[in-house]
A and B are shown apart, each in its own frame.
Chain A
């Protein structure tokens, strides 16, 4: 490429009236040419270029903490950072956002600017700008490599890096993203990028939600004609897609350079980006392993337009750079500050670490029964797996996985239904230090797919149906098949091998003299990624270390007296997986565990009889189904069930009526229910007798903290925000805080979410609301997001719902707030028996009876045929969705269905 024939056009100020842009920020800066690494000849070096930059320097209150140097990509301009200029000024940070030469309102130079030029030119600009204090770079799109190039070149000034939807490395084997491939096709390139605004318009159309007309026009403002757009085309042509490209060496040097950066790094990502896909995020995470990462589910390429990037950056700055400006520069400062925070669960941190696989290894010679599957896939009757076989299988699979290239720290997604296969491969992964990614079908296919894609496993182990989905959804992971494989499926599904082959390989490896057991992971290594049920938004990944998983098993074992020699029936998958760790014999009943309602009373009785189970675990939905079906139990079934000493209902709050009904089926059993969530389980436990003793109250009584766990409350303010410090004063309603050795390590790739949940030292914020009573019992009153803020104070839903459910004819109720925060009015949405055919206002009689049952004003009572609930438990009511629906109906809108 030679210098473009287009004439030079001077830099200029943007037009007035662009939304969110303060004209006081605009500066034109003349910079002498001749950067350190520029390739230009002497003639070019002799002149100067004029930049347009946005600079909030005059609006930052002293002392200025440092400077954010923001670099836009192609084809945007510094306008992209307007919110950050404003938010930065308020937080004491100078923000300088540049328009790259030839872009935005900077000079049209008549030259082509390659990657190396642009990095050098940015350095020349900052030499003139006199940046204040330590500098953090902020880059988007192709502004990413350029800003990071500046970062690598200025170690003495650099304090940190922030990047959003960018790439520093183009894999030569990898596919160029389709939109770019098209744009780069000879003949198309000039047309789409320069002669017409097609490339610009395509980029602007990526915003989620769509940009307003005014903002769209602001992005178009510097690029009205072909002569203003030359650099857009030059930028695309500068993407170094092959080894011979002139910018390839600069990119490779940069990719190597940033791997040496040790400063704090923040990676913000919109996973919906069709250009910078998640492989680029993975590459950046590989190069900056210490980086804080936040993926915004649902956001796309123009991330600063899609979500509040400015707020995220300011939050991160205040966390990573809490001190004064002088203390910021250099690596390590932030790390020391972070490690000074108290550890969670210090009270019981002295308990010895017993890894989950230890019990299995200890029983490798035991021919007693470890697992019983009542209806294993592909078999006609129950199958019992002895401890010795399970231990051997785990060992073989572990060796097989290692032999096939799985490394400690690799993520392995397990899309295998609960059963012996899942148990074996799970323990094998844990044993070799692979991180298991466990997404259950209870998230729904869409939720599951989104969850697994977000966790970016290197390997997917699944049944053929799951692997077909994985292939269809384009997960870029190796695929290993569990269970029998239909002929021809191997190639069609792109399957590497099967679990049977893995085990064979492992056995062969063991025989071949590689007899030393593989090294064990350490207690603080990642062990598992689990997922929340997503009842308050997209499912969140939750990362546990081996120590935390071990603590979870210990908490379950000690709370329920389960250990070696115990036998249990698990109709609730998570507990089935803990059985081997506790040394307990575990039976899975004949049911579709992904649909708890498929458990019948007789199937439960059969499983209990098979292992002479003393303990039964089930979800509330499964228990409801068992109770409904109890009439079909015969005498033998009832005899088996009468041997159960404890049954546990877990997964969602359980009405005492249901516990009592199950108690009639298992008369010798003490009904218990734990309270907890994916992030920490169990938190508390309560028996039916204790529930009865607690009586009625505001919410559901969930008992006292289990051994090792502590609970505190952060009081709500009038807007329903949990702003109070951790406290234990009885009767105060607020967000429930938990401290325990078995609290998860972190939310996975959700730095902001994690930061918000851990903002109180030593505590995890659960997002649930409740209160402690004088006896130290915890009462759960609902979700923080579902709190109702009325002018007369904050109300929580569960207590209201329990009272409404006491009204004749009401089977289930949801209490929601309608209206703006602080002015909300209470609306009850109820399911009735018999169910209504069409949603709408409850009749006057039912309305009057519900109003009479509640001690707060109720604006309206609506009836629906079925309340919307989460897929996983079919019990967590989606109150946010109901609230939107109720507001629409009660504003005179169309009724429809919630």
Chain B
């Protein structure tokens, strides 16, 4: 999508998972740069200017229809929950990605940006300034991370001179319209049910949605030497969990969390709750899992020097500016969060 390419391009870019916050932001950013966009997900994307192709990643015919005639793909659609049988994750995240890769190659797609997650590479608990390591499906934690790891490896294995592939791993994307993290944090804080794990001291680097979208657009235009690699994308502003949650709560005008729970207690509680939810899935999303407990009580921040160099990208919106935009978005009327799309990415 260089300027030269863009000028003569009529072929659309396919964005999968465009009903989620990040998918929508990426599609909008691509449209804003004057390119045609086709969106693909199960529900409606409702994105003005884009052609919506609805369907499931588990339906090869629908996938083939979606990618037909596209020159590039940004693949965000995935099952992102924190509980549930691993087979469901595998069908969407691994097999769905393989289906899309095959269809893209058959359709003559030149550039394929795989949206992945830092969790695919990390087998331990704490991440302190580490670079993006190789995806490890055997040792990654939880069904989401394991299946995303397998999907990323499948995608990078499909990198050829004809169809270049790279993986971008945004870490904890949030912003206006976020029905996942922000909505849940605000909802729990409003009900006084948002404890800090271990005082909320763990440093976590998150990604404001517009920065993640910019990074994905930059990835589509990445120079030749960047393809075939994996890149962690964040704001590059690690903050204690307490400060991040407080920023979101203040933006929403709800009380900031003050109560602290020792992380060990939260992990044990999470394990117990997971077991109960395994037999009572109709209760909906569990309040705490071991994975979430660990994510919220240990450091997660990254060395992004290689990302910025390879993608020629740097985050434009600071955390504080992001919180201000979130507040502006939430200010008029704190509308009830829309139902979560299972194939929309966080």
Chain A residues in the interface with B (C-beta under 8 A): 791, 818-820, 822-825, 840-841, 844, 847, 857, 859-860, 887, 889-892, 895
B138 within 8 A of A: no
The answer to whether B200 touches A819 (Cβ under 8 A) is no
**How long is the Cα–Cα vector from A824 to B305 in the complex, in angstroms?**
11
Binds A, one of B213-221, B234-242, B272-280: B234-242
The answer to whether B129 touches A825 (Cβ under 8 A) is yes
A-B contact pairs, 5 of them (CB 8 A): A823-B129, A844-B256, A860-B240, A890-B299, A895-B199
Residue from B236, B242, B299 in contact with A841 in the complex, judged by beta carbons closer than 8 Å: B242
For A825, what are the chain B residues with a Cβ–Cβ distance below 8 Å? 129, 203, 238, 301
Asked if A891 meets B203 with Cβ closer than 8 Å, knowing A820-B128, A844-B243, A859-B237, the reply is yes
Most chain A CB within 10 A, of B237, B239, B263, is at B239
For A889, what are the chain B residues with a Cβ–Cβ distance below 8 Å? 201
The answer to whether B129 touches A824 (Cβ under 8 A) is yes
Binary per-residue interface labels of chain B (123-143) against chain A in the complex, 1 for a CB within 8 Å, 0 otherwise: 001101110000000000000
For B200, what are the chain A residues with a Cβ–Cβ distance below 8 Å? 841
For A860, what are the chain B residues with a Cβ–Cβ distance below 8 Å? 201, 203, 238-240, 243
The answer to whether B240 touches A819 (Cβ under 8 A) is no
Apart from A820-B303, A892-B201: 20 A-B pairs, beta carbons within 8 A? A791-B308, A818-B203, A823-B129, A823-B302, A823-B303, A825-B238, A841-B201, A841-B242, A841-B243, A860-B201, A860-B239, A890-B202, A891-B128, A891-B203, A891-B298, A892-B126, A892-B197, A892-B202, A892-B298, A892-B299
The answer to whether B128 touches A895 (Cβ under 8 A) is no
**How long is the Cα–Cα vector from A841 to B238 in the complex, in angstroms?**
14
Closest to B242 in A: A841
**How long is the Cα–Cα vector from A791 to B239 in the complex, in angstroms?**
16
The answer to whether B198 touches A892 (Cβ under 8 A) is yes
For B125, what are the chain A residues with a Cβ–Cβ distance below 8 Å? 892
Residue from B126, B236, B242 in contact with A791 in the complex, judged by beta carbons closer than 8 Å: B236
**How long is the Cα–Cα vector from A889 to B200 in the complex, in angstroms?**
10
The answer to whether A819 touches B198 (Cβ under 8 A) is no
Within the complex, what minimum Cβ distance (angstroms) separates A898 from chain B? 14
Closest to A887 in B: B128
**How long is the Cα–Cα vector from A371 to B298 in the complex, in angstroms?**
61
Residue from B199, B203, B318 in contact with A840 in the complex, judged by beta carbons closer than 8 Å: B199
Residue from A820, A844, A859, A895 in contact with B203 in the complex, judged by beta carbons closer than 8 Å: A859
Asked if A844 meets B246 with Cβ closer than 8 Å, knowing A818-B203, A820-B303, A892-B263, the reply is yes
Within the complex, what minimum Cβ distance (angstroms) separates A621 from chain B? 32
**How long is the Cα–Cα vector from A844 to B263 in the complex, in angstroms?**
21
The answer to whether B240 touches A841 (Cβ under 8 A) is yes
B297 within 8 A of A: yes
Asked if A819 meets B128 with Cβ closer than 8 Å, knowing A890-B299, A891-B203, the reply is yes
Within the complex, what minimum Cβ distance (angstroms) separates A795 from chain B? 15
B304 within 8 A of A: yes
**How long is the Cα–Cα vector from A107 to B240 in the complex, in angstroms?**
62
Chain B residues in the interface with A (C-beta under 8 A): 125-126, 128-130, 197-203, 236-240, 242-243, 246, 256, 263, 297-299, 301-305, 308, 318
Going nearest first, the 7 A-B pairs with the smallest beta carbon separation are A819-B129, A892-B202, A823-B129, A891-B299, A892-B298, A823-B303, A890-B203
Closest to A857 in B: B237
Within the complex, what minimum Cβ distance (angstroms) separates A702 from chain B? 33
The answer to whether A892 touches B297 (Cβ under 8 A) is yes
For A892, what are the chain B residues with a Cβ–Cβ distance below 8 Å? 125-126, 197-198, 201-202, 263, 297-299
Inter-chain contact total with CB atoms closer than 8 Å: 77
Most chain A CB within 10 A, of B125, B126, B200, B302, is at B126
The answer to whether B201 touches A895 (Cβ under 8 A) is yes
**How long is the Cα–Cα vector from A565 to B223 in the complex, in angstroms?**
76
For A890, what are the chain B residues with a Cβ–Cβ distance below 8 Å? 201-203, 238, 240, 299
Asked if A841 meets B305 with Cβ closer than 8 Å, knowing A791-B236, A859-B239, the reply is no
Closest to B246 in A: A844
Within the complex, what minimum Cβ distance (angstroms) separates A864 from chain B? 13
For A859, what are the chain B residues with a Cβ–Cβ distance below 8 Å? 203, 237-240
**How long is the Cα–Cα vector from A889 to B236 in the complex, in angstroms?**
19
Within the complex, what minimum Cβ distance (angstroms) separates A643 from chain B? 54
**How long is the Cα–Cα vector from A752 to B236 in the complex, in angstroms?**
38
Asked if A791 meets B198 with Cβ closer than 8 Å, knowing A818-B203, A820-B129, the reply is no
Within the complex, what minimum Cβ distance (angstroms) separates B235 from chain A? 9
The answer to whether A819 touches B305 (Cβ under 8 A) is no
Within the complex, what minimum Cβ distance (angstroms) separates B131 from chain A? 8
Closest to A844 in B: B246
Closest to B294 in A: A892
Within the complex, what minimum Cβ distance (angstroms) separates A175 from chain B? 49
Within the complex, what minimum Cβ distance (angstroms) separates A305 from chain B? 28
Within the complex, what minimum Cβ distance (angstroms) separates B285 from chain A? 24
Within the complex, what minimum Cβ distance (angstroms) separates A348 from chain B? 46
For B128, what are the chain A residues with a Cβ–Cβ distance below 8 Å? 818-820, 887, 891
For B239, what are the chain A residues with a Cβ–Cβ distance below 8 Å? 859-860
Within the complex, what minimum Cβ distance (angstroms) separates B127 from chain A? 9
For B242, what are the chain A residues with a Cβ–Cβ distance below 8 Å? 841, 844
For B201, what are the chain A residues with a Cβ–Cβ distance below 8 Å? 840-841, 860, 889-890, 892, 895
**How long is the Cα–Cα vector from A847 to B299 in the complex, in angstroms?**
19
For B198, what are the chain A residues with a Cβ–Cβ distance below 8 Å? 892
**How long is the Cα–Cα vector from A840 to B236 in the complex, in angstroms?**
23
Closest to B314 in A: A792
Closest to B304 in A: A791
For B243, what are the chain A residues with a Cβ–Cβ distance below 8 Å? 841, 844, 847, 860
Within the complex, what minimum Cβ distance (angstroms) separates A887 from chain B? 7
Within the complex, what minimum Cβ distance (angstroms) separates A817 from chain B? 10
**How long is the Cα–Cα vector from A824 to B298 in the complex, in angstroms?**
17
Most chain A CB within 10 A, of B128, B297, B308, is at B128
For A891, what are the chain B residues with a Cβ–Cβ distance below 8 Å? 126, 128, 202-203, 298-299
For A841, what are the chain B residues with a Cβ–Cβ distance below 8 Å? 199-201, 240, 242-243
**How long is the Cα–Cα vector from A895 to B263 in the complex, in angstroms?**
13
Residue from B197, B297, B301 in contact with A819 in the complex, judged by beta carbons closer than 8 Å: B301
Residue from A818, A823, A887, A895 in contact with B305 in the complex, judged by beta carbons closer than 8 Å: A823
Within the complex, what minimum Cβ distance (angstroms) separates A740 from chain B? 40
**How long is the Cα–Cα vector from A255 to B302 in the complex, in angstroms?**
58
For A887, what are the chain B residues with a Cβ–Cβ distance below 8 Å? 128
For B308, what are the chain A residues with a Cβ–Cβ distance below 8 Å? 791
**How long is the Cα–Cα vector from A58 to B126 in the complex, in angstroms?**
44
The answer to whether A791 touches B305 (Cβ under 8 A) is yes
**How long is the Cα–Cα vector from A825 to B235 in the complex, in angstroms?**
13
Most chain A CB within 10 A, of B197, B242, B318, is at B242
**How long is the Cα–Cα vector from A362 to B242 in the complex, in angstroms?**
71
Within the complex, what minimum Cβ distance (angstroms) separates B172 from chain A? 15
**How long is the Cα–Cα vector from A211 to B128 in the complex, in angstroms?**
26
For A844, what are the chain B residues with a Cβ–Cβ distance below 8 Å? 242-243, 246, 256
**How long is the Cα–Cα vector from A510 to B203 in the complex, in angstroms?**
73
Most chain B CB within 10 A, of A825, A847, A859, A891, is at A891
Within the complex, what minimum Cβ distance (angstroms) separates A895 from chain B? 7
**How long is the Cα–Cα vector from A823 to B302 in the complex, in angstroms?**
8
Within the complex, what minimum Cβ distance (angstroms) separates A55 from chain B? 38
**How long is the Cα–Cα vector from A820 to B130 in the complex, in angstroms?**
8
Within the complex, what minimum Cβ distance (angstroms) separates A846 from chain B? 12
**How long is the Cα–Cα vector from A823 to B125 in the complex, in angstroms?**
19
Closest to B200 in A: A841
Most chain A CB within 10 A, of B129, B256, B304, is at B129
For A822, what are the chain B residues with a Cβ–Cβ distance below 8 Å? 303, 305
Within the complex, what minimum Cβ distance (angstroms) separates B139 from chain A? 20
For A847, what are the chain B residues with a Cβ–Cβ distance below 8 Å? 243
For A824, what are the chain B residues with a Cβ–Cβ distance below 8 Å? 129
For A820, what are the chain B residues with a Cβ–Cβ distance below 8 Å? 128-130, 303
Within the complex, what minimum Cβ distance (angstroms) separates A823 from chain B? 4
Closest to A824 in B: B129
For B202, what are the chain A residues with a Cβ–Cβ distance below 8 Å? 890-892
**How long is the Cα–Cα vector from A872 to B326 in the complex, in angstroms?**
51
Within the complex, what minimum Cβ distance (angstroms) separates B26 from chain A? 25
